[in-house]
Amino acid sequence: MLKAFQVAPLSSELDDDIQHKIDFKTKPPGSLGGLESIAYQVARIQRTLTPTIERAQMLVFAADHGAVDKGISAFPQEVTAQMVTNFLAGGAAVSVFCRQHQVPLKVVDVGVKVDMPDHPLLSKRKVASASQDFSEQAALTLDEVNQALSAGADEVDACQDVDILLFGEMGIGNTGVSSCMMSAITGTKPEQTAGRGTGLDDAGVSKKAQIIAASLKRAEQALHKPVGEWAPWEVATQVGGLEILAMSGAMLRSAELGKPFVVDGFICTVALLFASQIQAAVTDYAIFAHQSDEQAHKTLLQQFQAEPILKLDLRLGEGSGAILSYPIIKSAVVFFNDMASFESAGVSNAT
């Protein structure tokens, strides 16, 4: 059995009042576009007409993947640990953006192949030293899957007095793992889920799709059922990634606590896809940061009927899109709370 989560669907009790407050600001109805949608969602999640987004936390989950040895990434596996070191030193994109917006960053090691030295910004929750090569065998045991889900949930619990969680990831090969998980859950062909990741050429993308297809076929034979019909625990054990599952656990726990969270790019959206297989209501608490340049991300966003905040052709990961969207989310809440109404400003409304 998978670790249990209980996520309550959002209440509609305040919906009319929230919409009324938005509509009667000193502006034409709908003129703040997506900011209005964000404000509406945050107010619904926090169940208040005075929502707060002042204290954020960025959690970047890191792990390695056995299938990298088959060539699903343009970069070697040792880059995972090297980039974690870069995060901790403050030199990565997510590091500088978090510093810019004064959002604390924590890196969570749930499966980096190298044992990282102690660091104030590093949380050591290693489940295993990388997943197994899913083209040859199941990627994880059920116990490892539950440990990863728990690691993500525990990290959320460790965030004190936080209004919103931002999630990111680091793991060479995890775009390929995410593509495989998406194919396993939705039945979408690997040719449609495999993308360029960290910079594969056409031949590299084709090879990645072939490896994913072979891995899914192996798992189908092991499970005696086709893709699209697997239970969540079967997806996770056969083709899951530790940092992806840890993000799923963090999302589910955030939703359990009634806190909004920001979904980064393709890999993070696959984590939400998996989380939604466990508790469908988790998506109510998700704010989608951006549409990445990974080919399957647009398909996933359409499946969630999501309108991402940004479209900058990002494909870096790390939570970079999540932190870039954060000041826009704050602005949405500021307008909702502080912008004058027609009545308070003495401005005539439209007739």
| Strand order across the 122-124 sheet | 122-124, 105-111, 56-63, 164-170, 261-263, 286-288
Cα separation of 168 and 294, whole Å? 16
Distance CA 40, CA 27 (A): 16
Distance CA 63, CA 251 (A): 17
- Clarify whether 191 is annotated catalytic: no
**Residues 144, 169, 234, 318: which is the catalytic one?**
318
**Dihedral Cα 94, 99, 105, 107, nearest 10 deg:** 50
Known catalytic residues? 318
